Amino acid sequence: MDYVNGPGRNHLFVPGPVNIPDQVIRAMNRNNEDYRSPAIPAMTKTLLEDVKKIFKTTSGTPFLFPTTGTGAWESALTNTLSPGDRIVSFLIGQFSLLWIDQQQRLNFNVDVVESDWGQGANLEVLASKLAADTNHTIKAICIVHNETATGVTNNLATVRKILDHYNHPALFLVDGVSSICALDFRMDEWGVDVALTGSQKALSLPTGMGIVCASPKALEASKTAKSVRVFFDWKDYLKFYKLGTYWPYTPSIQLLYGLRAALDLIFEEGLENVIARHSRLAQATRLAVEAWGLKNCTQKEEWFSDTVTAVVVPPYIESSEIVRRAWKRYNLSLGLGLNKVAGKVFRIGHLGNLNEVTIFFSSLN
C-alpha cells in the first residue's frame, strides 16, 4: 500500500527531507550486512575521512550518529558542556527556538538573544555580552547557520571575528542542518568547535544520520563536560575508532552506502560548484517570488538564504491553505509556516541534488 496522492511524481519542495538522487536510492537498495566484517570498517574509514571535506575541516573529528538533527544537537551540547553552564543562543525562528528549548531542558543557563522572525542573529548584542564577560562565564555560543523556518542565513565569519576581537574562549557550536553541503561553510577557517547536519538535508539522503564534527578544542572539552550522556557520547565512538571497528553499536548499512554515493556525487560535481548551484537556483526562486508580487519573509538581503525561501502571503490568504492545495491538486509539497509565522508564510526548499527549482513555479500561477 502506498500513501500516494494521484498519478505522477510527487514534487518535493519542502526544505527537508529533500529529493534523493536516483544514484543514492540505488546504492541503498540492498540487504543488511554484518557490520563487524572487515568490509564495513574499511568503508567507514573512508567515509569519516571524506565527510570532513563537507565541513571544510582537516582537524575535526566526525561522528555519524544513527539519529536526526535533534539528536545531533543533543550530542553537540552534552559532550562539551556541564549542567549550569552559561550559553549565548540566538532565537530567530522555529528551529533556533527548538534548540534553545533543548538547551534549557538539558539544564544549561541559556542567555537568549531574540530577533524578529525574518531577521538574522543580533551580533551586536553578542559583542556587548562578550565585552562584558571578562570572567568568561559564557561557555558557548550556539547559533543556527541557516534558520529553516524563515529562510535566514547568519554570518558565522562575523561571529568568529567578534569572539576573536574579545579574545573570548567560548566554544562556538553551529547547527548547520540546512546549510552544510549547500551554503559556504568553513569549520576550520571560522573556528567552529562543533558543527552538525542531518542526512536528509543538503546531503540528499533519507533521514537517520546525524553528522557531528568536533574540533580538537571540543574534544578536549568533552573530557571534562559533566552532562549525562551514553547513546550520544563521543567517548564510545573514539574508543571504537581506536580499535578500528568504528561502531559502538549497529549503524545503518544502507545509510553508509548511501552516504558513500552522496559524497561521490558531491565531489564529482565539486563542492564549490554545488554551493554555486544553490546560489543560482535560490536567486531564481527569489526572482520568481518577486514576479508573483509576493514578499520574502527574510528582511534584508544580507540574510537571504540560498537553501530555503519563506514567502509571505497576502493577509487575506491562509498560507497553509496554499500548501494543502498544492499537495492535493498538483502533488507538490511545500513547507508550512511554523509558530509565529504560521498561516503567514509558506516555504520553498531549494537544497540538495536539484537542477531546476524554477520548474515548479508555473504550477502555482
- Residue 38's DSSP bridge partners are none
CA–CA separation, 235 vs 244, rounded Å?
A: 14
Number of residues that bind a copy of itself (CB under 8 A): 95
Q: Find out whether 347 is annotated in a ligand binding site.
A: yes
CA–CA separation, 77 vs 228, rounded Å?
A: 10
Binding residue (CB under 8 A) for a copy of itself from 59, 128, 137, 250:
250
CB of 97 to a copy of itself, least distance (A): 13
CB of 78 to a copy of itself, least distance (A): 9
Give the torsion through C-alpha atoms of 85, 90, 93, 98, to 10 deg.
-10
The C-alpha cell that represents 257 in the structure block: 552506502
Chain positions 113 to 152 lying near a copy of itself, rule: CB under 8 A, are: none
Chain positions 76 to 95 lying near a copy of itself, rule: CB under 8 A, are: 83
Question: Residue 76 in contact with residue 212, Cβ under 8 Å?
Answer: yes
Closest CA to 178 of 94, 65, 102, 85: 94
Please tell me whether residue 282 binds a copy of itself under the rule CB under 8 A: no
Nearer Cβ to a copy of itself (36/165): 36
CB of 293 to a copy of itself, least distance (A): 17
Chain positions 42 to 81 lying near a copy of itself, rule: CB under 8 A, are: 42-43, 66-71, 73-74
CA–CA separation, 185 vs 25, rounded Å?
A: 26
How many helices and strands, by DSSP H and E, does the chain display? 11, 14
Binding residue (CB under 8 A) for a copy of itself from 111, 271, 330, 342:
330
Please tell me whether residue 319 binds a copy of itself under the rule CB under 8 A: no
Binding residue (CB under 8 A) for a copy of itself from 127, 248, 275, 342:
248
Question: Residue 142 in contact with residue 170, Cβ under 8 Å?
Answer: no
CB of 150 to a copy of itself, least distance (A): 17
Apex 105 CA angle, 99 and 111, nearest 5 = 65
Please tell me whether residue 231 binds a copy of itself under the rule CB under 8 A: yes
Encoded amino acid at 238, one letter = L
The C-alpha cell that represents 64 in the structure block: 555519524
Binding residue (CB under 8 A) for a copy of itself from 50, 53, 107, 133:
107
Binding pattern for the stretch 198-217 against a copy of itself, x by CB under 8 A and - elsewhere: x-x-----xxx---------
Please tell me whether residue 293 binds a copy of itself under the rule CB under 8 A: no
Chain positions 334 to 353 lying near a copy of itself, rule: CB under 8 A, are: 335-336, 353
Please tell me whether residue 19 binds a copy of itself under the rule CB under 8 A: yes
Nearer Cβ to a copy of itself (41/125): 41
Please tell me whether residue 25 binds a copy of itself under the rule CB under 8 A: yes
Helix ranges restricted to H, the chain: 22-28, 39-55, 69-80, 94-105, 123-132, 156-165, 216-222, 234-243, 253-269, 271-291, 319-330
Q: Which residues contact 129 (CB under 8 A, 6 or more apart)?
A: 88, 111, 113, 138
Q: Is the peptide bond before 17 cis (omega within 30 degrees of 0)?
A: yes
CB of 58 to a copy of itself, least distance (A): 23
Binding residue (CB under 8 A) for a copy of itself from 97, 106, 163, 225:
106
Nearer Cβ to a copy of itself (169/244): 244
CB of 196 to a copy of itself, least distance (A): 13
Residue count (the chain): 365
Binding residues for substrate: 347
